[in-house]
A = this chain, B = another copy of it.
Amino acid sequence: MKEGPDIAQIGALIGDPARANMLAALTGGRALTATELAAAGGITLQTASTHLSKLETGGLLTQRKQGRHRYFTLADEAVARLIESMMGLAASRGHLRHQPGPKDPALRKARICYDHLAGDYGVRMLDSLVASGSIDAVGDGLAVTAKGESDLRSIGIDIGSLKSSRRPLCRSCLDWSERRAHLAGSLGKALLSNFMEKGWARRMPESRSVIFSPEGERQFLKLFPLET
């Protein structure tokens, strides 16, 4: 029975609460320093340091020195997907870190998932893109249609240049709060940065929440209507 890859190492790395919290914080997509991650994990800097080196040698994180800071990121999009899918499973099994509180609503409405939009608004956006025929949903897979390509160009997104990257253009990502798919991949990322550049939305510091301005919200809801 000693065959195949070793799941236990990765499981154990994620299995420690402090480390899990740090990883969850990094799902926000931002590179964070050791000190910030220590706070996220609820531990002292020394302890965080050893945890971080374990996560790095385990291949889940990469670090980048910048001056006297050390910035940590998830090693890979694959890691981000694993974390998100574990969140999905955990949510479906009722393993919650706390009961839904007052801070949750904003998070459920719109938040960052690695580098794209998640939560109610993320799900709505994908639904709307599919309903309008901009994106073709086949099974689990997503593809931009010709109509979608021109529609998206009109709001300032060039599909052609996105296609050239090695990263998949569209990918569906299971949303742990909505339990439905939202849009990941390079297009998901491009859309979110587009909103932020236009000033429609901005990130909250120290959190994964995404806040829409009143005008941005109006535009967003108009651009991605819900058909009833």
Most chain B Cβ neighbours within 10 Å, of A1, A7, A103? A7
Alpha-carbon distance between A207 and B176 when the two chains are bound, in angstroms: 34
Q: Which of A198-220 contact B (CB under 8 A)?
A: 207-208
In this complex, what residue of B is CB-closest to A176? B5
Cβ–Cβ contact B20 & A171, under 8 A? no
Alpha-carbon distance between A91 and B132 when the two chains are bound, in angstroms: 40
**Number of copies of this protein chain within its complex:** 2
Alpha-carbon distance between A172 and B140 when the two chains are bound, in angstroms: 8
In this complex, what residue of B is CB-closest to A103? B3
**A146 on the B face (CB < 8 A):** no
Cβ–Cβ contact A9 & B95, under 8 A? yes
**A112 on the B face (CB < 8 A):** no
Known contacts A14-B8, A14-B15, A107-B3: does B97 contact A89 (CB below 8 Å)? no
Alpha-carbon distance between A137 and B140 when the two chains are bound, in angstroms: 10
Q: Which residues of B contact A166 (CB under 8 A)?
A: none
Cβ–Cβ contact B86 & A79, under 8 A? no
Q: Which of A1-35 contact B (CB under 8 A)?
A: 1-17, 19-21, 23-25
Instruction: Please list the residues of chain A having a beta carbon within 8 angstroms of any beta carbon in chain B.
Output: 1-17, 19-21, 23-25, 39-40, 42, 58-59, 78-79, 81-83, 85-98, 103-104, 107, 136-143, 168-172, 176, 185, 207-208
Q: Supply 16 further A-B pairs (C-beta < 8 A) apart from A1-B40, A7-B23.
A: A1-B24, A1-B42, A3-B103, A3-B107, A3-B207, A6-B96, A7-B90, A12-B12, A59-B93, A59-B95, A81-B85, A85-B85, A136-B138, A138-B142, A139-B170, A141-B141
